[in-house]
Structure 1
Amino acid sequence: MMLSSKQPMCFWWGPDLLQLYNDAYLPILGLRRGKALGRPFQEIWSDVWHDVLPFVNSALSGEPTWMEDMPLIMTRNGYEEQTYWTFSYSPLYGDGGAIEGILNIVTETTKIVAGREALQKSYEEVQAHLVRHQAYEQELRLLNSELAHRMKNTLAMVQSIVSQSIRSSECIDEVAVVVSGRIRALAKAQDLLTGVSIAAADLAMIAENAVEPHRSEPDRFVFSGPKLLMSARQALGLSLALHELATNATKYGALSAPGGQVSICWNLDTENQFSLSWTETGGPLVIAPTRRGFGSKLTERAVADLFHGTAVIGFVPSGVVFSLQGRLDQSTDL
């Protein structure tokens, strides 16, 4: 029966469990083929003997066994290799009714297990790709939403800048200059924001970018404060306010004099209260204006609302002082 079967089969017989096998079993032997016939089980399969000994003892005691995809490290081809096997050990009885051998019906499943593991790995990679793709789509939706929000805010700011500048200017030439300068400041702030997180922008970068056109010398501006992040809406508002302050300082204040200087300082206290100050020194004597234009309103009222606090421009003789008190948007907490 064994010799005529296409299923790999062998049996071990007698006290030494001498091995007999069919042709289908030959590939399993590897380099051992040709010298395994009639040899003891333990001698032929010494590399896995201790792994299969419990199954041998079970079959010799009359209890058949079955294993599926059992891992065995073999040296059948002259080197160690990880293999997998599905097999059964069944007791064989002699003429006297005693157990005298073991029948082994076996199938090597090494390639099947490897294929299954490769398939599982591919499945996990696909799942990971799907997770990344979903995260990408979510981020894309957030970016599109933020872009739409920023565009609406920007258009609203441009509309307000143009309409208010027209109302507060005395001639069309003045309107063109003022509107152009304010929109350039807004555009520079937008350029900076496109290179940072959709949720937050660095305050120092915003401040330096806003006053850069007015920095004729390196020491004209002094910046001081910890690293803080602010939302895009607060960054745009503060950028415009600093642009207005720098423009006025260039025309009438500290930056109109050779030795004039502006100090921009900010801080966040232990209670999350934000403060920023603009202090001009070394300029001409300051006299409070009799007429407040849109720039002053923007610097005070609009910025105060954006930062949920107060903003005041002080015209002291030694130089213009701007003080902002409020809080940063929660989404930008460090």
Structure 2
Amino acid sequence: MSTDDFLAGGGEMAEAIRTFDWASTELGPIKTWPVSLKTTMRLVLASRQPMCFWWGRNLLQVHNDAYLPMLGLRKDTALGQPFANVWADIWEGILPYAQKALAGEGTWAEELPLVMFRNGFEEQTYWTFSYSPIYGDDGAICGLLNIVTEKTQAVADRMALQASIEDARRHLHNKEAYQQELRLLNGELAHRMKNTLAMVQSIASQTIRGAASLSEAASQVSARIQALAKAQDLLTGKSVASAEMREIVENAIGPHCDRPDRFTLAGPSLKASSRQALGLSLALHELATNATKYGSLSSVGGTVRVEWGETTDGFFLTWTESGGPPVPQPQRRGFGSKLTERVVADLFRGEAKIGFEPDGVVFKLRGQLDPLSPLRPAADSEPDGGTS
């Protein structure tokens, strides 16, 4: 077999091999090469699959045209160089595979991750390859054959696809959560509308019943409905960072205060975050509505005391009704009770409980104000008593 025979049709690398100074290497001049070396070289050069092989004591590298893109900046210096020198940056990662193949055991790796410095910078790469022993004319192992496919782009595409899938799942989860929240809000809106209409009816009937004249009744009904609207402003959320506790309470009870002694408020100047203010306003709104329907506010002599403050354990608020009709333990708990207890307890990271005592309903809240809205008592921090 002549030199021209085994290099014929080998492309760019065949010409590079033909002109390379092999006499200065351990392989010696081309005319002295064994048949096994020439046969292996011909097989590699004729393949369109990226392939290379390493031959001799120092495992000098030979590769085909399809292998050139994998070399990056090394492509002009890799031919005829020792395996360990060409791939010094990944040598520790591939050495175990090479050692097995040199011992006569073929190896296989699937998407092996290797950090490579082939283009002047570190890059994460992935490779699927096999190392097979090459046997010389005398039957002894004299080299390694490497059939390889770079999987870096395929792995990156798969990772990107997986990220897109995860993003889609998060989007669907958020959409489902949004739809669930929307359903809850719609239910709450319907419930709130019913309560609002019931409160308007109660305000109108109580005002007309106690008014001296029709004009006085009209004026009082108008004023109380305006107070209800003011409370609803807080219920629907205003763009504020925090709210004073007294303002929260007064806004919630305002539509139900038909005379000065109906409510007694006692507590220091404390501020709650907007989300806690909204939740507490909803709870107080529920309590006042139920008190107007069934509790102390449904009776001429009934009253409510609202007290708040801070202890070593954190924030507290108590709603205490008295002077109304007996309040039986309800057979079922509606949305309003769940809102008053569960939601407010979560918002204040504590406990909230409605008690149906012989003298009237008692609501107790124990928890913490949000860190972004710290307790800020006024100069006179002693609880103040008063009426609304």
- Range class of TM-score, shorter chain: 0.5 to 0.7
Q: Note closer, same or farther for the CA distance 1:309–1:184 as it changes in structure 2 (3 Å cut).
A: farther
1:8 maps to which of 50, 75, 89: 50
The answer (yes or no) to whether the contact 1:90–1:104 under 8 Å persists in 2 is yes
The answer (yes or no) to whether the contact 1:300–1:310 under 8 Å persists in 2 is no
- When normalised by structure 1's length, the TM-score is 0.68
1:122 to 2:158 alignment:
no
Structure 1 Cα separation of the partners of residues 201 and 265 of structure 2: 32
- Aligned to 1:86, what secondary structure does the other structure show? strand
1:232 to 2:282 alignment:
yes
Structure 1 Cα separation of the partners of residues 308 and 190 of structure 2: 31
Question: Residue 373 of structure 2 corresponds to which residue in structure 1?
Answer: none
Amino acid paired to 1:194: T
1:103 to 2:156 alignment:
no
Question: Residue 43 of structure 1 corresponds to which residue in structure 2?
Answer: 85
Aligned pairs for 1:141-220 (under 5 A) are: 141-195=183-237, 204-209=246-251
Q: Note closer, same or farther for the CA distance 1:234–1:35 as it changes in structure 2 (3 Å cut).
A: closer
Question: Residue 140 of structure 1 corresponds to which residue in structure 2?
Answer: 182
Residue 174 of structure 1 and its aligned partner are, at CA, apart by 2.0
1:327 to 2:363 alignment:
yes
- Aligned to 1:15, what secondary structure does the other structure show? coil
1:30 to 2:60 alignment:
no
Structure 1 Cα separation of the partners of residues 204 and 265 of structure 2: 31
The answer (yes or no) to whether the contact 2:248–2:281 under 8 Å persists in 1 is no
Question: Residue 78 of structure 1 corresponds to which residue in structure 2?
Answer: 120
- Aligned to 1:206, what secondary structure does the other structure show? helix
Question: Residue 266 of structure 1 corresponds to which residue in structure 2?
Answer: 307
- Aligned to 1:188, what secondary structure does the other structure show? helix
Structure 2 Cα separation of the partners of residues 300 and 192 of structure 1: 29
The answer (yes or no) to whether the contact 1:273–1:326 under 8 Å persists in 2 is no
Q: Note closer, same or farther for the CA distance 1:190–1:39 as it changes in structure 2 (3 Å cut).
A: same
Give the aligned length.
267
1:65 maps to which of 103, 107, 111: 107
- Aligned to 2:88, what secondary structure does the other structure show? coil
Structure 2 Cα separation of the partners of residues 233 and 108 of structure 1: 63
Residue 148 of structure 1 and its aligned partner are, at CA, apart by 0.6
The answer (yes or no) to whether the contact 1:206–1:235 under 8 Å persists in 2 is no
Aligned pairs for 1:249-288 (under 5 A) are: 266-267=307-308, 274-275=318-319
Amino acid paired to 2:118: R
Work out the percentage of aligned pairs sharing the same amino acid: 50
Structure 2 Cα separation of the partners of residues 208 and 158 of structure 1: 18
The answer (yes or no) to whether the contact 1:9–1:22 under 8 Å persists in 2 is yes
Q: Note closer, same or farther for the CA distance 1:129–1:302 as it changes in structure 2 (3 Å cut).
A: farther
Question: Residue 218 of structure 1 corresponds to which residue in structure 2?
Answer: none
Question: Residue 14 of structure 2 corresponds to which residue in structure 1?
Answer: none
Structure 1 Cα separation of the partners of residues 215 and 73 of structure 2: 98
Structure 1 Cα separation of the partners of residues 306 and 284 of structure 2: 17
The answer (yes or no) to whether the contact 1:48–1:74 under 8 Å persists in 2 is yes
Which consecutive unaligned segments of at least 5 residues does structure 1 have? 215-220, 243-263, 278-298, 313-323
Structure 1 Cα separation of the partners of residues 325 and 151 of structure 2: 74
The 10-residue stretch of structure 1 (166-175 or 180-189) with the greater mean CA deviation from structure 2: 166-175
The 10-residue stretch of structure 1 (21-30 or 158-167) with the greater mean CA deviation from structure 2: 158-167
Residue 140 of structure 1 and its aligned partner are, at CA, apart by 1.1
Residue 207 of structure 1 and its aligned partner are, at CA, apart by 3.1
CA RMSD of aligned residues (A): 3.9
The answer (yes or no) to whether the contact 2:115–2:123 under 8 Å persists in 1 is yes
Deviation string 1:217-266 (CA, Å, 9 cap, x unpaired) is xxxx9851577964626326649999xxxxxxxxxxxxxxxxxxxxx861
Which consecutive unaligned segments of at least 5 residues does structure 2 have? 1-42, 258-263, 293-304, 329-336, 338-353, 369-388
- When normalised by structure 2's length, the TM-score is 0.59
Deviation string 1:252-299 (CA, Å, 9 cap, x unpaired) is xxxxxxxxxxxx8614899x993569xxxxxxxxxxxxxxxxxxxxx9
Structure 2 Cα separation of the partners of residues 63 and 152 of structure 1: 81
Structure 1 Cα separation of the partners of residues 80 and 174 of structure 2: 59
